[in-house]
Structure 1
Amino acid sequence: MGGQRRSCAARLKGMKASAVVLIGIVIIAAFGVRSDRGSTLTDISLSSHGRIGVYLTSFALTKPETLTAVLTAAREGKINAVVINVKNMHGEVTYASAVPLARKIGATVGRIDPRALIARLHAAGIYVIARQVLFYDPKLAAYLKLPNPWVPVDNDQAVAYNLAIASEVASLGFDELQFDYIRFPDGEGLGTRYAARYAAVNRFLDAARDALAGRITISADLFGRVMWNWNRKKIDPIGQSLEEIATRVDFVSPMLYPSHYNEEYYKDDPYRVVKEALAAGMARVSTPIRPFLQAFGRDVPAGMSLEEYIRAQIRAARESGTDGYLFWNPSCDHTALYRALAD
């Protein structure tokens, strides 16, 4: 009986994976996307490489001064890329989406006009990355009657919904689609079914890669801790494996924020933590690494300015040979960053 149960479980798992693939095929047909690609990733043009960018929320982009500052920084040679929310942590789709479920659950807010915004940024030589938050989604979770905002990565409706949005985003003119929250929740009491979580993350990326075949560059934001060698053990509840994700995307963006470490010797030395994390992770994969660096003031060591804190991380990234880097500031106030980049 034990063997029979395992056999049944395996068949059910296979059926579930097939269902996800079928959903992806339906979405592809709906959006007129070809699915004739094998395991080859998107051909990366030279314009994708060496990008230095800032994160911008849709709220920030409603303020004219935000875009003015970005265009000025680009003109001065400080940045050449932006990361813009197309789906955020509130579950909002920030543009006027035509995806039926986005409209049904009240997710579409139409805060930005992607085509007009992209045209203006492209005119300034700025590479435009769309950030799509995936499985932390209060609106979808409420619709599915889930107990918290985390939607399981192996939930078929969530997979289909996010693939539909991704396919739509790929048609809007963005240069790259960056997946964030491509994981399970972190914390205690989450069980030990780690293998299933890693498999679910990989299945989603496989489906996304097929759905977006050749249409847009794909990247993934990962927890900074995946860069450390213990990640190879696959004992992390979030389900992110650096090696396995790296083979499924064009760029990897680990979030290497020094303030997020418990160890004081890392919190107090932004250069060291970024340098050591990159050394460990970059030795394990050949996919280009474009890290997110900390451009906000949390836990900046006493006696160190935010500008110095940022410059220390930049030095570590440059010395490590990363393929550009991005800057995260949740408030989108990049004043200190622009000063740091001027020196």
Structure 2
Amino acid sequence: MFRKKFLLLYVLLTLSVTPDYLSPASGIKVYALTSDNRVMLSDNSGRSWTPCMRGLPVDCIPVRIYTAGGKIYLASFSSGLFRLKNYEWESINSDLFKRRSIYDKEPGYRKISAFAADAGDENNIVTATKHSIYRSRDGGLNWTEVPLNGLNRRNYITALAVAGKKIYAATSFNGIFVSGDKSFSSCGSGLPNEPYSDTLKFTEQISMLAVNNTYLYAGFSFGGGLYAKKHNEKNFSPVVFNVRKNIDVFIYDIQFKGKELFFTENSVIYRKESDSPITEYSGYTEIITRIAGQKNIYSVTILDEAGRLPTLSLRTAYPEKNRRSIAAADRNTLYLSVSSLKFLDKHIDEIKKTEINAVVIDMKDDFGNIYFKAGAGTASEIKAQKNPLDIKSILTRLKNNNIYAIARIVTFKDQKMYNAFGGLYAIKNKNTGKPWKGSEAEYWVDPYSEFVQNYNIELARDLEKAGFNEIQFDYIRFPSDGSVNLCNFTYKKDADTYKSEILIDFLKKAANILNIPVSVDIYGFNSWYYFGNWIGQDMEELSHVVDVICPMVYPSHFGNRFYSKINSRLRPYKIVYDG
């Protein structure tokens, strides 16, 4: 009898119970990502830090830390995927992850946009490089690309989960997909979405997935909350909808510990057990509070070596970006068309009464017409050269009034080049082989053509020599309207090249040649969703190459139901503000 009581007492004492508070000295390690692209380690709850960079390339840009099965993985922007072993990072990369480039012999790796490991098999891991998914069955020694049948490559993979043969892939605007025997298919309905028009809506961007034997969980960006779906059901239901009622927060991590669910929303940890209410977990409050005062840290991963809690990652801040160019900073700009330049002095007088201190002037317009004396003969050969403006006089008047001058070059929408040389450099129609025609009055040339790229860079060099302070490339994208499914890019050398990669190639080359700041105009919707392989504009990629990014957030250019829940009088302001 005594033995039975002793055994019962022993079992009760050894049951796994999540503590409400963990002592800072009780085997807690904290990994941090910093704005200056370092990984740091603290074993005293964030009081002091040591670098945790051994094994990483010098130019590595960490993106986030993932944890699974007691192992720590690091996803990077251009150096691939790493796993921590004995406090040293080991590469588990594959050549499959490498970015494509027509100029760079060693272009580096594509951004690791998602990663997951199977809770039942730590060697079964998956990762994504924005628009591609790869699986390893041996812990990262060997990788194979996962066919994306049913999951269009226009999607941007933001989160993954894996359980046995099944892969769950979450996207930036198109919901969640699950792999079957031969293809991916949509994984349920009921997810939060933003209507765009009467016929189109976008699922909110998913930031994290997690799967167990019963449920698939999905965490969202932009205050979308946390949703879950049982494996035998079709619809997702909210576990919690926007705990903090704030568009600036998102679910950063989802983990399990026995029957308990843990998730982080920015720098707050929540936990839930079965049907119990959600509660805020305060055991790491001291650590989180201390780290919140360290401005260079934007993400932390807290590891309890005793295994009393799951390893949890939190987003404590947004990473600060260093300004690429002081000259281009703090510019309030007015656009001036060619026809408006006849009133330049009047514009200058009005500008001096305001906070405007810069102007953008068309030097190559939407049809390919050029309004300055181009140095190369191509402009005249393709009949793009117009009577040149008196650039010297224009720039002198602007500079005498301390107004910064930006030259606008419309890049890949170019009717003059489209029609030149028998349509040689136009995008081709897959069915006819003739130049492809999209929307009315739009003529697109092939962004993969080095001739087209070099032509625009030469024009930019001429404008730099003329005295402009900055070059702004507009229509630096692929066409979005018309029968884009019929576009054939005959100058594309590698079929696996992402659209964003060829645009980055062009801009890198331009930025390396020019000695003045380079800016780009981009489609306004990029401010809300990753659209990298749709029209090629990836805002994150661009931020590493150009000095200024200008989202074109014209309220009139958005669908009639976008932000429809907002008061119609405030809607234009809100679109511009959020964009």
Q: Normalising by structure 1, what TM-score?
A: 0.63
Specify which of 70, 75, 85 is matched with residue 352 of structure 2.
Answer: 75
Q: What amino acid maps onto 2:446 in structure 1?
A: P
- The answer for the alignment partner of 1:44 in structure 2 is 325
Q: What amino acid maps onto 1:224 in structure 2?
A: G
Q: Secondary structure at the match of 2:346?
A: helix
**CA offsets per residue over residues 96-152 of structure 1, 9 Å max, x none?**
112111121121113412221111011111111110110111111111413242001
Specify which of 156, 160, 171 is matched with residue 450 of structure 2.
Answer: 156
- The answer for the alignment partner of 1:239 in structure 2 is 536
Q: What amino acid maps onto 1:152 in structure 2?
A: D
Specify which of 109, 115, 136 is matched with residue 413 of structure 2.
Answer: 136
1:176 counterpart = 2:478: no
Structure 1 runs (4+) greater than 6 angstroms displaced: none
CA distance in 1, matches of 2:337, 2:482: 30
CA contact (8 A) 1:73 1:79 kept: no
1:256 counterpart = 2:553: yes
Which of the two has greater strand per residue? 2
Q: Secondary structure at the match of 1:89?
A: coil
- The answer for the alignment partner of 2:574 in structure 1 is 272
- In the TM superposition, residue 188 of structure 1 has moved relative to its aligned partner by 5.2
- The answer for the alignment partner of 2:371 in structure 1 is 94
Q: Secondary structure at the match of 1:166?
A: helix
- The answer for the alignment partner of 1:125 in structure 2 is 402
CA distance in 1, matches of 2:323, 2:356: 24
- The answer for the alignment partner of 2:236 in structure 1 is none
Q: Secondary structure at the match of 2:473?
A: strand
Specify which of 56, 61, 80 is matched with residue 336 of structure 2.
Answer: 56
1:205 counterpart = 2:482: no
CA contact (8 A) 1:218 1:250 kept: yes
Q: Secondary structure at the match of 1:248?
A: coil
CA distance in 1, matches of 2:406, 2:393: 15
- In the TM superposition, residue 171 of structure 1 has moved relative to its aligned partner by 0.9
**CA offsets per residue over residues 33-88 of structure 1, 9 Å max, x none?**
xxxxxxxx99623x532222211111221x2xx21331111221342111001111
Q: Secondary structure at the match of 1:252?
A: strand
CA contact (8 A) 1:81 1:129 kept: yes
Specify which of 212, 218, 236 is matched with residue 518 of structure 2.
Answer: 218
- The answer for the alignment partner of 1:104 in structure 2 is 381
CA distance in 1, matches of 2:562, 2:503: 32
- The answer for the alignment partner of 1:8 in structure 2 is none
CA distance in 2, matches of 1:229, 1:182: 18
Unaligned runs of 5+ residues in structure 2 are 1-99, 108-321, 427-434, 438-442, 488-494
Number of residue pairs matched by the alignment? 236
CA distance in 1, matches of 2:577, 2:351: 26
Specify which of 528, 533, 546 is matched with residue 228 of structure 1.
Answer: 528
CA distance in 2, matches of 1:116, 1:17: 38
CA distance in 1, matches of 2:403, 2:470: 12
CA distance in 1, matches of 2:324, 2:530: 31
Q: How does 1:256-335 map to 2 (within 5 A)?
A: 256-264=553-561, 266=563, 268=568, 269-277=571-579
Q: What amino acid maps onto 2:448 in structure 1?
A: D
CA distance in 2, matches of 1:83, 1:275: 21
CA distance in 1, matches of 2:466, 2:524: 30
CA contact (8 A) 2:530 2:538 kept: no
CA contact (8 A) 1:130 1:176 kept: yes
CA contact (8 A) 1:59 1:111 kept: no
Q: Secondary structure at the match of 1:157?
A: helix
Q: Secondary structure at the match of 2:575?
A: helix
CA contact (8 A) 2:323 2:329 kept: no
Q: CA RMSD in A?
A: 2.7
- The answer for the alignment partner of 2:13 in structure 1 is none
Identity of aligned residues (%): 31
- Cα gap change, 1:235 to 1:155, in 2 (>3 Å): closer
CA distance in 1, matches of 2:323, 2:574: 33
CA distance in 2, matches of 1:17, 1:241: 19
- Cα gap change, 1:67 to 1:273, in 2 (>3 Å): same
Higher relative contact order (CA 8 A, sep 6+): 1
Q: Secondary structure at the match of 2:452?
A: helix
CA contact (8 A) 2:328 2:548 kept: no
Q: Normalising by structure 2, what TM-score?
A: 0.38
Q: What amino acid maps onto 1:48 in structure 2?
A: A
Q: Secondary structure at the match of 2:505?
A: helix
Range 137-146 or range 178-187, more displaced? 137-146
